[in-house]
Amino acid sequence: MTMQGFRGEILSLSHDPAEAPDALRHDADGLLVVEDGRIVARGPYADLVARFPGLEVEALEGLIVPGFIDAHVHYPQLDRIASHGEQLLDWLERHIFPAEQAFADPAHASAVAEAFLDELLRHGTTSALVFGTVHAASVDAFFAAAEARELRMACGKVLMDLGPEGLKDTPASGVAESEVLIRRWHGRGRLTYAVTPRFALTSSDAQLAGAGKLLADHPGVLLHTHLAENTREISEVAARFTQAADYLDVYDGFGLVTQRSVFAHGIHLPDRSCARLAEAGAGVAVCPSSNLFLGSGMFDFAQAQRHGVRIGLGSDIGAGTSLSLLHNAGVAYQAGLFKGYRLDPFRALWLATGGSARLLHIDKDVGMLVEGQEADFVVLDDKATPLMARRTARATLDERLFALQVLGDDRAVRRTYVLGRCAWDRDALGCVA
């Protein structure tokens, strides 16, 4: 691939702005120089362009930000989004487990994986930490589809030996199938494997111990599960694991709380859990639209910040109501305010990019649009609707970003680039790659 230049307004965060006030990087008229899919230079156009004589430069209209990184999502639940009427445990039984049973058919898994990745790109998401189903072939289907598109993705087979009939493995088969998948996919191209026990209630002690052994035996893989999402779930966990200090302690007892662990939700955590998460360097994927949709509760940003817990942003489809991390950032603001926390729009952008990248341990490669990183980026249109155009006219940068989060979604994603290649072009009405 030859060298390419992209000229436009570029915005990214190099750190969590709650910790580092100088984290914002904004080039009002910027240049991104990309060679073989990697960023080789970024800065003000006027300063940089002379260094690259003959560079072919494409002008991009809109706000160029890093590709969004969804820190928690279930691809097999894509077609169960907007399923009515239940909180978590009943919703799983009534809507989700039947949908996941269909993934016993690899052709179905492949078709849904393709549709899911199309949707991610349409929403500006270029990386994600993804649940498969209990079927190993669901993960093969997902990784094959991601690899064909050269996407940076993490996924894992769900471990659930206490699941319903037709949707369960055993401690031995779960470990054996995970081992095969790790050998086949982990570290191949842009792919990462995540050991994925569904949650404490669907795994026996033997299976949770097996998950801990997988993590210990394969130091590079991630751990991905759910934590403290729903009050009835939490009561059932407390009733079964009477020796554990709290829900997180159940996972800790099996070696599952590490700096490579990502816990979805974490909305009902005692201070003890937050302190332990911070000590371990583990991450929480905040999933605000899911938490509202299932009536689960609201994430306590102030508590997490007090303890120094690492967080990122997740859509948690199918419980989430949109794959758009712009939309989820807007909901995060509203949920945060309900608990007295004002989520700053720049911090929300950080959570959807660098924050999630850190959780997935891919922050060396993506999330900040800095030299040396891969050129996964999105071009946002803050005038995507007539009302957005009115609201963002003569607005400051933080007002425009906030309007994108409160009013924007996939309509505001003009283009999505993967390794410097355009993979979604809204105005061409299709994927051009």
* Site residues for ligand GUN per CB under 6 A: 74, 88, 92, 96, 198-199, 226, 229, 290, 316, 319
Choice from 316, 374, 409, 410 touching Zn ion (CB under 5 A): 316
Residues 6 or more apart whose Cβ sits within 8 Å of residue 384: 408, 411, 412, 414
Q: Which does 167 bind (CB under 5 to 8 A by kind): ligand GUN, Zn ion, none?
A: none
| Shortest spacing between CB 359 and ligand GUN, in angstroms | 17
Q: Which does 88 bind (CB under 5 to 8 A by kind): ligand GUN, Zn ion, none?
A: ligand GUN
| Shortest spacing between CB 226 and ligand GUN, in angstroms | 4
- Asked if 16 interacts with Zn ion (CB under 5 A), we say no
Instruction: Give whichever of 63 and 319 is closer to Zn ion, judged by the CB atom.
Output: 319
Q: Which residue is nearest to Zn ion (CB)?
A: 316
Instruction: Give whichever of 128 and 343 is closer to Zn ion, judged by the CB atom.
Output: 128
Smallest CA-to-CA distance from 54 within 28, 33, 30 is with 33
Q: Which does 218 bind (CB under 5 to 8 A by kind): ligand GUN, Zn ion, none?
A: none
| Shortest spacing between CB 17 and ligand GUN, in angstroms | 28
Instruction: Give whichever of 88 and 362 is closer to ligand GUN, judged by the CB atom.
Output: 88
DSSP letter assigned to residue 351: I
Instruction: Give whichever of 323 and 384 is closer to ligand GUN, judged by the CB atom.
Output: 323
State in Å, rounded, how far the first CA of the chain is from the last one.
Answer: 14
| Shortest spacing between CB 70 and ligand GUN, in angstroms | 14
Name the amino acid, one letter, at 307. Answer: H
- Report the C-alpha gap between 198 and 92 in whole angstroms: 11
Instruction: Give whichever of 233 and 374 is closer to ligand GUN, judged by the CB atom.
Output: 233
CA distances from 127 to 66, 352, 357, 417, 423 (A): 10, 10, 8, 12, 13
| Shortest spacing between CB 126 and ligand GUN, in angstroms | 23
Residue list 160-179, contact with Zn ion (CB under 5 A): none
Helices 136-148/106-122 angle, 10° precision? 40
- Report the C-alpha gap between 5 and 19 in whole angstroms: 32
| Shortest spacing between CB 157 and ligand GUN, in angstroms | 14
- Dihedral class, residue 430 (left if φ above 0, else alpha if ψ from -120 to 50, else beta): left
DSSP string, 20-45: -TT-EEEEEEEEEEEETTEEEEEEEH
3-state secondary structure of 298: coil
Instruction: Give whichever of 198 and 414 is closer to ligand GUN, judged by the CB atom.
Output: 198
Helices 136-148/171-185 angle, 10° precision? 10
- Report the C-alpha gap between 213 and 210 in whole angstroms: 5
Task: Please work out the total of residues on this chain that contact Zn ion, with binding judged by CB under 5 A.
Answer: 2
Residue list 256-285, contact with Zn ion (CB under 5 A): 264
Instruction: Give whichever of 229 and 382 is closer to ligand GUN, judged by the CB atom.
Output: 229
Tell me the window of 8-16, 316-324, 385-393, 403-411 that interacts with Zn ion (CB under 5 A).
Answer: 316-324
Instruction: Give whichever of 199 and 350 is closer to ligand GUN, judged by the CB atom.
Output: 199
> Which residues contribute to the site for Zn ion (CB under 5 A)?
264, 316
